[in-house]
């Protein structure tokens, strides 16, 4: 009688885990697909026969009492603890071997997520807004409540797989009998059949419907910001849990204000005389009418900053600023009286024939040109 403990290289009091570990190591070494050397196939069969006996508690007990319970030819099927799963685990890992023995696939599965574009005006991103949005999505079928069956009927256990969702087949090879498992083709791995599908949802357990979702948009969102509504997406097959809805913000351009980060910018046209003499102008903003105080001698491209009148800071509170760019308007044409007054003013200032002076390269003209080219 062969010494199976010596063949596997383990002690007689070795644990089942130690026996399995030793077998896997030797099986990898002598498997014919890995080692084509002389005697490797015979050695692999010998190792497999030893593992067949020692991995089964009853056969190991018989062997320890002095009898060899292994069948002639080293059969590896029957009631022993060795089969296709052991070989599969040896070469592909225990996780995959275990997956081949899984039960039926649940019919109910999670629904998909949805992505919806949300167009907002600048004013809505400044302060935040509550919007009601209609979306087309999948909801639980009210006729069958997600069971997929016609009312009064119920799923039937699959006759082919007996409700296991998988079918097993035994094949003979030089290793002996090898058992394989695969999803049942009759029930598609669900383990049950729908003999009478629901007429409303055609056995899907869900139907298409239009729903109204309420979304609270926080202040400070910008183009590309995504807002998630958990569990508001489409219901999964067979009434499975719903997915999520993501709203992706797109901010519409505003006619008067331009956004840069959380600050707002606008241009205020001011008559030349008002800029020279100074004045107070009323400016319509998102916060109502605000006063813009211009000091005497205000120059073109001067910027007046109104603190806290910009866009709300997302998540952290507070707001950006509103920057008012002053555009001094020079009259294109004057009547004789106005022309005479301007000539008198030029004479008083000694500017009848002013000297041309170039501004620095980082001056206002180049700044405006740079802004134009960069799209700001």
- The Cα-based distances of 27 to 20, 161, 180, 212 in angstroms read 10, 32, 19, 61
Number of helices (H) and strands (E), helices first, in the chain?
A: 10, 15
Among candidate residues 215, 213, 223, the one with its CA nearest the CA of residue 125: 223
The per-residue pLDDT for range 307-348, each reduced to its tens digit, is 999 999 998 889 999 999 999 998 876 788 888 888 888 888
Q: 129-140 and 288-294: which strand pairing?
A: unpaired
Beta strands per DSSP E along the chain? 114-120, 129-140, 156-157, 166-173, 176-183, 192-193, 206-217, 226-229, 245-251, 258-260, 263-271, 279-285, 288-294, 303-306, 322-329
| pLDDT value at residue 75 | 38
- Nearest-angstrom CA–CA distance, 148 and 197: 6
Q: Are 13 and 75 in contact (CB under 8 A)?
A: no
At residue 33's C-alpha, the angle toward residues 32 and 34, to 5°, is 90
Q: What is the pLDDT, as a whole number, of residue 69?
A: 74
Annotated binding-site positions: 141, 144, 158, 161, 184, 187, 198, 201
Strand duo 303-306 + 258-260: pairing: unpaired
Model confidence pTM above 0.95: no
Site of tokens 């740079």: 370
Distances (CA, A) of 37 to 7, 30, 73, 74: 18, 9, 21, 21
Q: Quick check: 46 and 2 in contact, CB under 8 A?
A: yes
- Three-class SS state of 192: strand
pLDDT at 233: 92
Q: In what order do the strands lie in the sheet with 245-251?
A: 114-120, 245-251, 226-229
Contacts of 301 by beta carbon, 8 Å cutoff, 6+ apart: 325, 326, 327, 364, 367, 368
Distance linking the first and last C-alpha atoms of the chain: 91
Q: Which two tokens stand for residue 376?
A: 């700001």
Question: Which residue ranges form the domains of the chain, and what is each CATH number?
Answer: 4-99 (1.10.287.110), 114-155+194-251 (2.60.260.20), 258-374 (2.60.260.20)
pLDDT for 336 equals 87
Q: Per-residue confidence of the chain (376 residues) as pLDDT tens digits?
A: 678 888 888 888 888 889 888 888 888 777 666 666 667 778 888 888 888 888 888 888 877 776 777 645 343 333 444 444 454 444 444 444 434 446 788 999 999 999 999 999 999 999 999 999 999 999 999 999 999 999 999 999 999 999 999 988 776 665 666 777 888 989 999 999 999 999 999 999 999 999 999 999 999 999 999 999 999 999 999 999 999 999 999 999 999 999 999 999 999 999 998 999 999 999 999 999 999 999 999 999 899 999 999 999 998 889 999 999 999 998 876 788 888 888 888 888 777 777 766 666 554 544 554 554 455 5
* Numbered residues of the known binding site for Zn(2+): 141, 144, 158, 161, 184, 187, 198, 201
Task: Please say whether the beta carbons of 174 and 248 come within 8 A.
Answer: no
- Tokens 């009898």 label which residue? 67
pLDDT at position 101 is 46
């Amino acid at each position: 009688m062969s010494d199976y403990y010596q063949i596997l290289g383990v002690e007689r009091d070795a644990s089942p885990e130690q026996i399995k570990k030793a077998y896997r190591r030797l099986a990898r070494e002598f498997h014919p697909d890995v080692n084509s050397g002389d005697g490797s196939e015979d050695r692999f069969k010998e190792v497999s026969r030893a593992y067949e006996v020692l991995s089964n508690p009853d056969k190991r007990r018989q062997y320890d009492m002095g009898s060899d319970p292994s069948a002639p030819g080293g059969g590896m099927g029957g009631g022993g603890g060795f089969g296709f799963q052991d070989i599969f685990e040896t070469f592909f890992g225990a996780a995959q071997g275990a997956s081949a023995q899984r039960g039926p696939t649940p019919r109910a599965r999670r629904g998909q997520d949805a992505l919806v574009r949300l167009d907002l005006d600048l004013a809505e991103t400044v302060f935040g807004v509550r919007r009601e949005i209609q979306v087309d999505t999948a909801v639980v079928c009210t006729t069958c409540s997600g069971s997929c069956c016609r009312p009064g009927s119920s799923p039937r256990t699959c006759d082919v797989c007996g409700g296991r969702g998988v079918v097993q087949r035994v094949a003979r090879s030089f290793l002996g009998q090898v058992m394989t498992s695969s999803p049942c083709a009759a029930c598609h791995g669900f383990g049950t059949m729908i003999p009478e599908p629901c007429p409303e949802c055609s056995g899907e357990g869900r139907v298409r419907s239009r729903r109204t979702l309420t979304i609270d948009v926080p202040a400070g969102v910008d183009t590309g910001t995504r807002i998630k509504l958990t569990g508001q997406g489409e219901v999964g097959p067979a009434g499975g849990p719903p997915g999520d809805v993501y709203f992706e913000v797109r901010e519409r351009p505003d006619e008067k204000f331009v956004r840069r980060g959380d600050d707002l910018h606008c241009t205020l046209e001011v008559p030349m005389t008002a800029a020279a003499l100074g004045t107070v102008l009323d400016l319509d903003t998102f916060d109502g009418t605000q006063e813009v105080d211009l000091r005497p001698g205000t120059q073109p491209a001067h910027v007046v900053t109104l603190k806290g009148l910009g866009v709300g800071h997302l998540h952290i509170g507070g707001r950006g600023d509103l920057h008012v760019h002053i555009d001094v308007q020079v009259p294109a044409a004057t009547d004789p009286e106005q022309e005479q007054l301007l000539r008198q003013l030029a004479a008083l200032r000694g500017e009848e024939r002013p000297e041309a002076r170039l501004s620095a390269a980082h001056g206002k003209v180049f700044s405006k040109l740079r802004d134009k080219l960069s799209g700001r």
